[in-house]
Amino acid sequence: MEEAGEYPVHKAVFDNDLPNLSKLLRKHDVASKDKHGNTALHLAVMLGRKECVQILLNHDAPVKVKNGLGWTVLAEAVSYGHRPTIVSLVRKFRQQSKEQMEKRRPNLIAALNKIDNFYMELKWDFQSWVPLVSRILPSDVCKIYKSGANIRLDTTLVDFSDMRWERGDISFVFRGDADPTESLTVMDNIGKLYQTVKYEENEMEIEDEVNLLMSTDILAAQISTKKISFSRAQSGWIFREDKKELVSGQYEAELYSVHGLTLESRKRREHLSSDDLEKNKALLQHFTKGTYNSFNENVRRTSLTPPPDKNISWEEYINSEVNNYPRLGRDLVYKESSKHFKATIAMSNDFPLSVEKLLNVLEVIAPFKHFSKLRDFITTKLPTGFPVKIELPILPTVTAKITFQQFEFRNNISPSIFKVPDTYYEDPSRFPDL
């Protein structure tokens, strides 16, 4: 049996002992996890301990953290359904994201300054095994300019995430030499307007995000790379030989098959009403016809009726098998699926940029969701060389083919491309997801 005193902060939350919780947080780590991977904030949210939640947030308890079952604090809060708690968590998450970005910024700028200036083109092709979806999926050629600590990315694919995309003519500009509050700018070149990414609290955006969270499935999808391995792709029936390819007509590359790549998708909907389920089903049907973006209903959601108290003791919880503890909050309505993917990757020693330097560039442009997925994949241990072509899953039904089709070092990149033209006007709400 576990000793009762091993997780004192967690036990104080379980007992709803507010004075003791405040006292314990002066000398114990608010981010520590118990044997099930739950933080004290996880427990406070699942048990509906609203005052404990606020005390823990006041001590900067991390919001973007998963428990042993892979669920974040926010996922459990949405399940419980207490709106003020969800609002507090979303607000805290934004604040913590801003602080983390500011902490990484000096190292990021130093790394960018060490890379020679360049121009690069990156082609994206999205494909699906679902015929209707495949017909309407986008493609894009991203143009990336790097000069000093400045980066500009031109794209026609504004966003691609969770079965939704937005087309346009967008430029994303990061200026490392600017004030942190002014360093990230996104320009809409068709509307001739721009938005400076502030990472600030906007109450209306927070309320809208909470409405969306409370009316849609709780999703946890991740590419599992635990069992990943690479083998040389081969051609020929009798005389087998390793496959090679000339990518973009200039990079001699060796082809590898990627094994053990699994997209694990988990979905929860215990917080949704039958009306919600019908609306979400209709949205999905419209998506397959290519009309998803015409729907933008955002009705204010009220708190759900709390789930009945399970009357589970601390001893029952902490002494249960790891990750097999009694359900503390609302009973799960849960579905999981896993899909094994065939991925291929072409590695070249001819490419003039290193993987490490590419990651520094991708760190800056990660607000674009598809770039975030690419960055996550490249952090996997790859074979030697540079990944000049990659095919990998980014959604349960969608695979992306990414090709580095042009790269050249340039010393004549004009400083003007990192500035907003005088003819553009500011619209602080043009890109609500950034």
For the four alpha carbons of 246, 247, 252 and 256, in that order, the dihedral sign comes to negative
Amino acid at 54: Q
Comparing 303 with 400, which gets the higher pLDDT?
303
Return the number of other C-beta atoms located less than 10 Å from residue 380's C-beta.
Answer: 15
- For 18, the 3-state DSSP assignment is helix
Report domain extents, the chain. 4-96+305-329
Return the number of other C-beta atoms located less than 10 Å from residue 162's C-beta.
Answer: 12
Burial-class residue 326 by CB neighbours within 10 Å (0-12, 13-18, 19+): exposed
Amino acid at 423: T
Q: How far apart are CA 8 and CA 21, in angstroms?
A: 8
**Tens digits of per-residue pLDDT, 34-73?**
999 999 999 999 999 999 999 999 999 999 999 999 899 9
Q: How far apart are CA 324 and CA 401, in angstroms?
A: 39
**Tens digits of per-residue pLDDT, 415-432?**
999 999 999 999 877 666
Q: How far apart are CA 130 and CA 46, in angstroms?
A: 37
- Could you tell me which residues come within 8 angstroms of residue 247 by beta carbon, excluding any fewer than 6 positions away? 253, 346, 348, 388, 389, 403, 404, 405
pLDDT band at 355 (very low <50, low <70, confident <90, very high): confident
Amino acid at 35: K
Residue written as token pair 């709400």: 429
Q: What is the dihedral of CA 350, 351, 352, 354, to 10 degrees?
A: -120
Q: Residue 181 in contact with residue 162, Cβ under 8 Å?
A: no
Q: How far apart are CA 17 and CA 21, in angstroms?
A: 6
CA distances from 102 to 57, 61, 105, 365, 366 (A): 20, 18, 5, 15, 15
Q: How far apart are CA 342 and CA 232, in angstroms?
A: 13
Looking at 59-130, list the stretches that DSSP marks H as alpha helix, in order from N- to C-terminal side.
73-80, 83-114
- Could you tell me which residues come within 8 angstroms of residue 107 by beta carbon, excluding any fewer than 6 positions away? none
pLDDT band at 125 (very low <50, low <70, confident <90, very high): confident
Comparing 208 with 63, which gets the higher pLDDT?
63
pLDDT of residue 81: 96
Comparing 398 with 269, which gets the higher pLDDT?
269
pLDDT of residue 301: 92
Strand extents, DSSP E, 197-333: 218-224, 229-232, 234-235, 241-242, 244-247, 251-268
pLDDT of residue 222: 72
**Tens digits of per-residue pLDDT, 131-175?**
555 455 556 788 999 999 999 999 886 554 544 555 678 898 999
Percentage of residues of the chain with pLDDT beyond 70:
83
- Could you tell me which residues come within 8 angstroms of residue 304 by beta carbon, excluding any fewer than 6 positions away? 80, 81, 82, 271, 330
Q: How far apart are CA 111 and CA 94, in angstroms?
A: 25
Q: Is 238 left (phi over 0), alpha (psi -120 to 50) or beta?
A: alpha
Sequential DSSP letters for 138-206: -EEEEEEEEETTEEEEEEEEEEEETTEEEEEEEEEEEETTS-GGGSEEEEETTTTEEEE------HHHH
Range scoring the smallest mean pLDDT among 6-15, 85-94, 342-351, 358-367? 358-367
Amino acid at 331: D
Between β-strands 139-147 and 150-161, what pairing exists: parallel, antiparallel or unpaired?
Answer: antiparallel
Q: What is the overall mean pLDDT for the chain? A: 84
Comparing 289 with 28, which gets the higher pLDDT?
28
CATH code of 4-96+305-329, in short, is: 1.25.40.20
Q: Which of 262, 245, 297 is nearest to 276 (CA)?
A: 297
Q: How far apart are CA 334 and CA 208, in angstroms?
A: 25
Comparing 285 with 22, which gets the higher pLDDT?
22
**Tens digits of per-residue pLDDT, 319-335?**
999 999 999 999 999 99
Comparing 224 with 384, which gets the higher pLDDT?
384
Range scoring the smallest mean pLDDT among 83-87, 192-196, 236-240? 236-240
Whether 294 shows a pLDDT value over 50: the answer reads no
Return the number of other C-beta atoms located less than 10 Å from residue 148's C-beta.
Answer: 16
pLDDT of residue 337: 85
